[in-house]
Amino acid sequence: MTTVFNVEYAAKKIIEAFPDSVAVVVKVAVVVNSNSLYQVAEFLKDTSGFEFDYLNNLTAVDYIDYFEVVYNLNSLEHNHSLVLKTRCYDRNRPVVPSVISLWRAADYQEREIYDLMGITFEGHPNLKRLLLWEGFMGHPLRRDYL
Amino acid sequence: MTLLEQFQLWLASMWPDWAAYITPAIVGILVIIIFVLTMVMVIIYFERRFMARFQIRLGPNRCGPEGILQPIADAIKVLFKEDIVPAKGDKLVHWIAPIVVFVPILMIFAVVPIHKGAILVDLNVGIVYVVAISSLSTVGIYMAGWAANNKYALISALRTIAQMVSYELPVVLSILGVVLMVGSLSMNQIVDSQSIPFILLQPLGFIIFFLGTLAEMNRCPFDLLEAESEIIAGYHIEYSGMKFALFYLGEYGHAVAYSCIITTLFLSGWRGPLLPPIIWFLIKIMVVFALIVWIRSTIPRLRVDQLMAFAWKCMLPMAVINLFIVAAEVLWLPEVFPWIMIAVNFAFACALVLLWSKLFVLGGGRVEV
Amino acid sequence: MAIKTEPFILNMGPQHPSTHGVFRMKVTLDGEVVVDVEPVIGYLHRGIEKLAEGRTYTQNIPFTDRLDYLASMTNNFAYVLAVEKLAGIKVPERVEYLRIIVAEMMRISSHLMAVGFFLNDLGAMMTPMLYMFREREKLLDLFDMVCGQRLTYNYMRIGGVSQDIPDDFLPALKRFVAEMPGFIDEYDQLLAENEILLVRTKGVGVLPKDLAINIAASGPVLRASGVDWDIRRDDTYSIYDRFDFDIPIGNVGDCYDRYWVRMQEMSQSIRILEQAIAQLPEGKVCADVPQLLRPPIGEVYGHIEAPKGELGFYLVSDNSISPYRFHIRPPTLINLTALKDMVIGWKVADLIITFGSMDVCLGEIDR
């Protein structure tokens, strides 16, 4: 049975390593600032005790005020999981650093989010639309797309 | 003297020479075309029904009793289809290619003896003629692959050339074993001298020849040039209607032709006890073809590099060794003891096949790019 | 003499016999050797994630049928589990067993298709596939008895299943479970020692262990690479902890291992089925759930071990009757990430079988 990693503890450790990276700690997840996301992700992947080597799921939610990008992380070795989130408030040009160099699993999922939600992943080598065709207007999964 | 020559002599006794010369030729050609087309229909039906049994299904059973009219229905359907020529294809070559594929296959039948004396021409180089003519259809396949202006077809065409060049050698070498034993290249002579079928005297030669012909007529497991799962239909991907039908006929005609050749070379042709020769001949063709269908419906396909490795590393050396063994036996073994030869050759065949299966592994294949 | 050559681009698909749907690959070839592969997807995109935001939780169940249409029941299962986790619904005992029975039947059915089509890609001219179809047909008949459908079942409901199994279902299932090991032996006789199958698949399309984890491969693809990870055991859902089963692990991660893992998993599913049938209790087949479910505000990521890998649903609720966000984690799309690494340098034929051995389903990739 996968244990859910203690969010408070994870947040404390992350703050120790990167002082102003964590924005909020909600009940189920650690929300980090988008500009320090890459460092935090790298920290979670490589630090012993965390070792989140498996990126289960990567998705984004449009909360009107902000976009939330959700990383469901898992560690095959310790069999524990953690939800990492980041938010971007700029609706016109939301940007999040890409984690593809840490987990290649992010490849298609980041392209999909870019395609359907319109969030740009900085550092993705091949950020093209995945499901829709080039030249499609708008990003359908946004709440204001009708 | 063949039946046609007797017919010609009989005609010459009452008709002018030129008529007596042309009429038997036309009659012979018509008989061959009808024989080939009928056999093709029969074996298409046979293959579909027989393969269906392997695949736990029924096969075509709606047209006529037990689906026996299915090949005719297929033929009608194919004839009425629109003939599509790719806009950017080479139209002339596209048009010629099916003919170039089909005609050599018909020509093979000219030297197949289906009865005592029932042969169109008893060429004294009969078997060499077969080898030469049957390679010609490769050119047609290459033309088809080229003319379609389609990359799948082109890959298929390139595979054809490589495959034919590789498999021609072991096939010819295994034929040489038979020729050494008979001492003649004529097909009639070959049948006449088989009081014991050569499959018993030269089991290894039979295996090599059979596998080689499987490759030559593009049947499983060497059906790389029409590998459905890879290059879809291969060289005839852009063909439809009657042109496609010619390829289809050519493919099955090839199968019939090689069944005939195998029957003639290794299964003592039309010879057999009790039943009339023509029945024996047909039975043997069907048995060979059934073996081909069995293989087709059982095993997967080889990859292109494994196919080449199999030809050059396994079949060619074995064919050469087989040739040496046969030559030595013809030279030194007295003809009165064929049974010794059978035993020796079976032992050699088993030993060599086992040895080669241990020696060579057809693996690998990754190329650094 | 060196001949000047240049690579050319072959466009494979969307209409191609072995792309298993409308998948398209832009393959750069140097002769027969694959130099580059670029998958192009989206030909079957139906916008299920967007559509689901406008429908109630129950109305979304049929959408999940249309994801991986070869394992519809498992998709239902993953979705209703996620919703139940979100809403905190406890389902009756009998339902848990019924769900596991149909899910494991679905796993066998899906693996049969996967292996059958894999052999078809190898060029085995339909024969293995039709043998696999024989057993799949029996499974489909069983599903037909359960819910009246053969492909898109829509059987599970939030809090239960749509209807109880008919009386003649269990005897029929027992008969199937009793005879299926014999059929698996038959497949082994046909395939396992086949020389051509071995030379074609051994060492071909290797997915190394660390790469498999890095790309978050899941299901048989991950296990064939030697990673001992099965969500049924490692993140137990429903009542899988009550059953005794093994998890087959490959060691190389080549096409043969993926084929082998699937064959073994079928036997293990049979074991689970045997135990589940023996333990099946009586009782209700649906919990008391409001017609218009309004889960509390929150979010959930529920994942299960679908036949093709980890099928996850990420649901966000805003306490309304429809999900605020409905995200599907498609296992086969993420497995495909490594396709390029696995086939570079191999031949076209190896590209086809490697792709076939990943067992993709385009309904799920494109959503």
CATH number of the domain residue C74 falls in: 1.10.645.10
Does residue C366 fall inside a structural domain?
no
Residue-range definition of the domain harbouring residue C15? 1-45
Cβ of A1 and C299 within 8 Å? no
Identity of the residue numbered B336: V
What are the tens digits of pLDDT across the range B152-204?
888 888 888 888 888 888 888 888 888 888 888 888 888 888 877 888 888 88
Burial class (CB in 10 A: 0-12, 13-18, 19+), A3: exposed
Cα–Cα dist C361/C151, whole Å = 14
Shared domain check, C125 and C23: no
Does residue C362 fall inside a structural domain?
no
Does residue C364 fall inside a structural domain?
no
Phi and psi at residue B261, in whole multiples of 5°? -65, -45
Alpha carbon distances (Å) from B241 to B82, B153, B236, B301: 6, 17, 11, 28
Q: What is the pLDDT, as a whole number, of residue B366?
A: 67
Q: Does C20 touch chain B (CB under 8 A)?
A: no
Q: How many domains does chain C have?
A: 2
Buried b (16+ CB within 10 A) or exposed e, B135-147: bebbbbbbbbbbb
Cα–Cα dist C307/C70, whole Å = 9
For C249, the token pair is 């692990």
Domain A3-95: which CATH number of 3.30.930.10, 3.40.50.720, 3.30.460.80, 3.40.50.300: 3.30.460.80
What are the tens digits of pLDDT across the range C247-274?
899 888 888 888 889 988 989 999 998 9
What are the tens digits of pLDDT across the range B314-332?
888 888 988 888 888 888 8
For B369, the token pair is 């790019």
Shared domain check, C307 and C259: yes
- For residue B364, is pLDDT > 70? no
Cβ atoms of C96 and C331 within 8 Å: the answer is no
Alpha carbon distances (Å) from B93 to A137, B332, C102, C137: 46, 53, 57, 47
Interface B-C: count of C-beta contacts within 8 A: 106
Shared domain check, C86 and C52: yes
Residue C187 to chain B, least CA–CA distance (Å):
12
**DSSP code for A65:** S
Report cis status (omega within 30 of 0) of the bond before B221. Answer: yes
Using pLDDT thresholds of 50, 70 and 90, give the confidence band for residue B231: confident
What are the tens digits of pLDDT across the range C185-242?
888 888 777 888 888 888 888 888 888 888 888 889 988 888 888 888 888 888 888 8
Strand partners, C327: C314
Q: What is the pLDDT, as a whole number, of residue B83?
A: 84
Shared domain check, C62 and C38: no
Stretch 65-94 of chain A: residues touching chain C, C-beta under 8 Å:
70, 72, 76, 79, 81, 83
Pairing between strand C325-329 and C309-317?
antiparallel
Shared domain check, C182 and C34: no
Instruction: Name the residue ranges covered by the structural domains of chain A.
Output: 3-95
For A112, the token pair is 């999909």
The residues, ordered by sequence, that sit 6+ positions from B147 with a Cβ below 8 Å of its Cβ are B89, B90, B91, B92, B93, B94, B97
Using pLDDT thresholds of 50, 70 and 90, give the confidence band for residue B141: confident
Residue of chain C with shortest Cα separation from A133? C42
The residues, ordered by sequence, that sit 6+ positions from B23 with a Cβ below 8 Å of its Cβ are B11, B15
Shared domain check, C57 and C34: no
Averaged over successive runs of 10 residues, the pLDDT of chain A (146 residues) comes to: 77 79 77 85 83 88 88 86 86 87 88 88 87 86 83
- Closest Cβ–Cβ partner in C41, C49, C298 for A130: C41
Shared domain check, C58 and C34: no
Cβ of C338 and A105 within 8 Å? no
Cβ atoms of A97 and A73 within 8 Å: the answer is no
Shared domain check, C109 and C20: no
Does residue C150 fall inside a structural domain?
yes
The residues, ordered by sequence, that sit 6+ positions from A122 with a Cβ below 8 Å of its Cβ are A95, A96, A97, A98
Shared domain check, C77 and C36: no
Instruction: Name the residue ranges covered by the structural domains of chain B.
Output: 81-358
Torsion angle of alpha carbons C322, C327, C331, C333, nearest 10°? 130
Shared domain check, C57 and C11: no
Q: What is the pLDDT, as a whole number, of residue C11?
A: 87
Whether the ipTM is more than 0.85: the answer is: yes
Q: For residue B300, which residues of chain C lie inside 8 Å, CB to CB?
A: 119, 122-124, 194, 196-197, 200
Cα–Cα dist A104/C178, whole Å = 43
Cα–Cα dist B241/B227, whole Å = 21
Cα–Cα dist A11/A23, whole Å = 10
Cα–Cα dist B225/B243, whole Å = 18
Q: What is the largest CA-CA distance in chain B?
A: 75
Phi and psi at residue C327, in whole multiples of 5°? -115, 140
Shared domain check, C115 and C20: no
Shared domain check, C305 and C288: yes
How high is the mean pLDDT of chain B? Answer: 83
